[in-house]
């Protein structure tokens, strides 16, 4: 079965985000500032109405310019390495810029995920830094070209 990639609600993806990104911590730790903002994009990959991968994009400037920050990207353990994360990023890249006019995406990537993001066209933009209770990260960015003719 090929999962359906689509916009999601926070309620549809929060449990997955909690289990995969904040195991053993309270559910509240899987909620992020900006989750409820009207311009936040929650995305999910769904099988039989259950989220098997997710990502959230929150309006957050990059070096003073308009951008969306990727947060809470996760794939269910038994569905990893099947292209779902890359499919979510492609969906975001294809839908967020035309809908918002914003062409920069960025994230604080776990060090273990840096190669994944690089394969998807993202660039490393910082040295390693620590996120308490989560571990080492690096800032990464994906600058998308504006539409042809602009």
Segment 64-93, tens digit of pLDDT: 999 999 999 999 999 898 999 999 999 999
pLDDT digits (tens, 9 = 90+) for 26-78: 999 999 999 999 999 999 999 998 999 999 999 999 999 999 999 999 999 99
CB contact at 8 A, 124 and 114: yes
Residue 150's pLDDT is what? 47
Residue 144's pLDDT is what? 86
Alpha helices in 6-139 (DSSP H): 10-21, 84-100, 114-119
């Amino acid at each position: 079965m090929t999962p359906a990639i689509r916009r999601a609600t926070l309620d549809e993806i929060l449990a997955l985000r909690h289990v995969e990104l904040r195991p053993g911590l309270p559910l509240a730790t899987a909620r992020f500032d900006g989750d409820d903002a009207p311009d936040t994009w929650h995305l999910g990959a769904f099988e039989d109405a259950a989220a098997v991968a997710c990502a959230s994009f929150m309006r957050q400037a990059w070096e003073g310019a308009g951008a969306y920050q990727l947060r809470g990207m996760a794939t269910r353990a038994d569905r990893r390495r099947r292209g779902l994360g890359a499919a979510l990023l492609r969906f975001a890249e294809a839908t967020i810029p035309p809908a918002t006019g914003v062409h920069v995406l960025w994230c604080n990537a776990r060090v273990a995920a840096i190669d994944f993001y690089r394969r998807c066209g993202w660039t490393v933009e910082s040295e390693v830094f620590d996120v308490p209770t989560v571990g080492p990260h690096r800032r990464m960015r994906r600058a998308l070209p504006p539409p042809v003719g602009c």
